[in-house]
Chains A and B, each alone.
Chain A
Amino acid sequence: MARQRRAGFFFVLPALAYFGLVFLVPLVESVIGSFYRTVPGGESRFVGLRLYAKVLSDPTFWQAVANTVSLLVMSVPTTVVLALAVALGLHRLASLRWRSAWTAMYFLPFSVSLVAAALIWQWMYDPIYGFLNHLLGQVGLPTQKWLQSLEQVRPSLALVNVWVRLGFDTIIFLAALQAIPTEYYEAASIDGAGPARALRHVTLPLLNPQIVMVTMLELIFNFKVFDTVYATTQGGPAGASQTVIMLLYDTAFKYFRLGDASVMAVFVFVSLLLVTLLQWRLFRRQVEY
């Protein structure tokens, strides 16, 4: 018995040690680092909450937060609703072969790197030779500046995120739909419920755990968006697509203001933690673990 217990601990030890070294220690160091100002030359000095005051009163920082939130607000609901619609549609298809073919196509963008996805779309968005403007021209609409426009850059980037994530969410919903016993629908139709009512009173309530979870995953994914912005606009034009992570990267690795970057790191960590805790409080009853 003792041998077994010891063995169990030794089995998990490598993972624990690794995660401790690579995540927990640096996380603690990030928090500590947010109280120190490092002067060029490597010397660091305890400054209490002064870096927090500095970063949190910086309009650039709040602009980045606002941009991130605006990207979130555009892409998260779109992705979840579209994925749900696509999953319902795919689920209705009678032919299994077509269903898996279409599913594969929706899922394809998930397999490529965000950098590649962003560059493919930047080419689609190209103001002069891009395909989208070509389409607009064909139907007689004025061409757009897309990523180069202050107003359109965020929706355009949000669309790339939707494109990348749609298939992932669809597959989660599709699996959940397939797990609903058909008896429920038979019972609903015996009770006289049409497809619309069956959707509202049977399907959606049963999908609730997945809807909540997918929304959370999308929130987290979109909050941390970096690759697509870095590969295309680098935060521009005029900071209109500057996200929090983009700003964190620039602050740390371009301007080497490590203290400021640590404050942002703590901000990101605390924000995501709050979102997760909020989800647990709000949805504990509905989500089955």
Chain B
Amino acid sequence: MKAGRLHWVVGAVVAAGAVCVFFPFFWMAMTSFKTVPEIQRVPLQIFPDRWGNLDNYREVFQRQPFARFLLNSALIATVSALSSVVVSSLAGYGFAKFRFPGHAVCFFAIVGILMVPFQSVVVPLYLWVNRLGLVDTYAGILAPDLVSVFGVFLMRQSIEVVPTDYIDAARIDGASELGIFWRVVLPSVRPALATLVIVKFMWTWNELFWPLVVVNSPTMKVVTLGLVSFTNMYFIEYNLVTAAAVLSIAPVLAVFLVCQKWIVRAVVLSGLRG
């Protein structure tokens, strides 16, 4: 009886916490449907007068080339996810299934990079990008995002459990090393590949610091920069900010909700790795 009541209390507290965590999203969505007088109305009201009020969204696209921002972000995030998967799975395979001279040194060098905060390298990196004439280009925005250390780890861990017998069997059959990689290794780590694509896409989509450094012109802005540009005014119009926020969040949120299983997997893997 007592244990049963405790159970209910725990359940209620957990649920209340979850609702609190969710509330700012709800509030953002509600605000994005409101007009300025509705936002400023006293006493404050939760729901918008008109549910289908998309004026704020229309205004966001008119004030700024927001469609272009979304497109830029989608392009950059996609390229970074794909290049990351290719390079990481190659390296993961190399580290998991081969013992070459310098194997350990190379691996620890990559582990060490996890400890280098991006902000410690940003100035020289910017100078390089500038020297190569890549400021304000897609290539410039992508430069530090093409591969992540996390991806190499993830792929190494996943490829390690692929039975070496399969690989040896393919080798005896005369398959080339790349052929083995393509036809034996990659098909057996599809879940890890999916995880990496999703997580890397989200990371790049959400990034602010580097785009802020390399982007100058409005047409090259990514969506995080576009979002910030709605606050660079004396008076912040929250009906527009929230509409822009909804637009910037919607794609990743959709990916997130559909692929939550993979993302949780990535978090747990990064967590259990230590």
Chain B interface residue count, Cβ-Cβ cutoff 8 angstroms? 92
Q: A3-B177, A230-B228 are in contact. Are A8 and B94 (CB under 8 A)?
A: yes
By the criterion CB–CB under 8 Å, are A112 and B110 in contact? no
By the criterion CB–CB under 8 Å, are B147 and A108 in contact? no
Q: A8-B99, A92-B7 are in contact. Are A230 and B94 (CB under 8 A)?
A: no
Q: Which of A47-55, A67-75, A121-129, A149-157 contacts B (4 or more CB under 8 A)?
A: A121-129
Chain B min CB distance to A282 (Å): 14
By the criterion CB–CB under 8 Å, are A11 and B268 in contact? no
B231 interface residue, CB < 8 Å from A? yes
By the criterion CB–CB under 8 Å, are B248 and A262 in contact? no
Q: A3-B177, A16-B106 are in contact. Are A115 and B121 (CB under 8 A)?
A: no
Q: A105-B21, A231-B228 are in contact. Are A269 and B152 (CB under 8 A)?
A: no
B256 interface residue, CB < 8 Å from A? yes
By the criterion CB–CB under 8 Å, are A16 and B110 in contact? yes
Query: A253 vs B119: C-alpha distance in the bound complex, in angstroms?
Result: 12
By the criterion CB–CB under 8 Å, are B124 and A25 in contact? yes
By the criterion CB–CB under 8 Å, are A120 and B24 in contact? yes
Partner pick for B271 among A5, A114, A210, A273, CB 8 A cutoff: A210
Task: Using CB atoms, name the residue of chain A closest to B102.
Answer: A9
Query: A128 vs B78: C-alpha distance in the bound complex, in angstroms?
Result: 40
Chain A interface residue count, Cβ-Cβ cutoff 8 angstroms? 94
Partner pick for B144 among A12, A22, A111, A114, CB 8 A cutoff: A22
Query: A119 vs B212: C-alpha distance in the bound complex, in angstroms?
Result: 17
A235 interface residue, CB < 8 Å from B? no
By the criterion CB–CB under 8 Å, are B121 and A11 in contact? no
Task: Using CB atoms, name the residue of chain A closest to B46.
Answer: A131
B181 interface residue, CB < 8 Å from A? yes
Q: A4-B177, A106-B21 are in contact. Are A11 and B93 (CB under 8 A)?
A: yes
Query: A176 vs B271: C-alpha distance in the bound complex, in angstroms?
Result: 9
By the criterion CB–CB under 8 Å, are B227 and A115 in contact? yes
Which A residues touch B100, using CB under 8 A?
Answer: 5-6, 8-9
Query: A161 vs B269: C-alpha distance in the bound complex, in angstroms?
Result: 22
A255 interface residue, CB < 8 Å from B? no
A261 interface residue, CB < 8 Å from B? yes
Which A residues touch B231, using CB under 8 A?
Answer: 119, 122, 231-232
Partner pick for A268 among B119, B146, B248, B268, CB 8 A cutoff: B119
Which A residues touch B127, using CB under 8 A?
Answer: 29, 258
Give residues of chain B (1-39) contacting chain A, Cβ–Cβ below 8 Å.
7, 10-11, 13-15, 17-19, 21-22, 24-25, 27-28, 31, 39
By the criterion CB–CB under 8 Å, are A9 and B264 in contact? no
Which A residues touch B53, using CB under 8 A?
Answer: none
By the criterion CB–CB under 8 Å, are A253 and B213 in contact? yes
Query: A227 vs B206: C-alpha distance in the bound complex, in angstroms?
Result: 10
By the criterion CB–CB under 8 Å, are B206 and A113 in contact? yes
Task: Using CB atoms, name the residue of chain B closest to A232.
Answer: B231
0 or 1 for each of B91-104: is its CB under 8 Å from A? (1 = yes)? 10111011111110
Q: A12-B90, A89-B10 are in contact. Are A113 and B27 (CB under 8 A)?
A: no
Task: Using CB atoms, name the residue of chain A closest to B178.
Answer: A7
A62 interface residue, CB < 8 Å from B? no
Task: Using CB atoms, name the residue of chain B closest to A175.
Answer: B268
Partner pick for A108 among B25, B146, B213, CB 8 A cutoff: B25
Consensus secondary structure, chain A interface: helix
0 or 1 for each of A222-236: is its CB under 8 Å from B? (1 = yes)? 011011001110000
Give residues of chain A (263-281) contacting chain B, Cβ–Cβ below 8 Å.
265-266, 268-269, 272-273, 276
By the criterion CB–CB under 8 Å, are B205 and A19 in contact? no
Which B residues touch A15, using CB under 8 A?
Answer: 87-88, 90-91, 110, 147, 152
By the criterion CB–CB under 8 Å, are B264 and A107 in contact? yes
Q: A123-B241, A171-B264 are in contact. Are A11 and B228 (CB under 8 A)?
A: no
Q: A102-B15, A104-B260, A171-B264 are in contact. Are A262 and B7 (CB under 8 A)?
A: no
Which A residues touch B264, using CB under 8 A?
Answer: 107, 171
Which B residues touch A123, using CB under 8 A?
Answer: 27-28, 31, 238, 241-242
By the criterion CB–CB under 8 Å, are A86 and B17 in contact? yes
Q: Which of A162-170, A180-188, A198-206 contacts B (4 or more CB under 8 A)?
A: A162-170
B187 interface residue, CB < 8 Å from A? no
Query: A10 vs B91: C-alpha distance in the bound complex, in angstroms?
Result: 9
By the criterion CB–CB under 8 Å, are A12 and B120 in contact? no
Query: A92 vs B7: C-alpha distance in the bound complex, in angstroms?
Result: 8
Which A residues touch B267, using CB under 8 A?
Answer: 168, 171-172
- 19 pairs across A/B with beta carbons < 8 Å? A16-B110, A22-B144, A26-B125, A30-B124, A33-B123, A109-B21, A111-B253, A111-B263, A119-B241, A120-B24, A120-B28, A129-B39, A129-B40, A172-B271, A223-B117, A230-B212, A232-B231, A265-B123, A272-B117
6 further A-B pairs in the complex, CB-CB below 8 A; given A113-B208, A122-B231, A265-B121: A22-B121, A89-B17, A111-B256, A129-B39, A224-B118, A272-B117
Pick the 6 closest A-B CB pairs, nearest first.
A8-B98, A11-B94, A172-B271, A113-B206, A15-B91, A29-B124
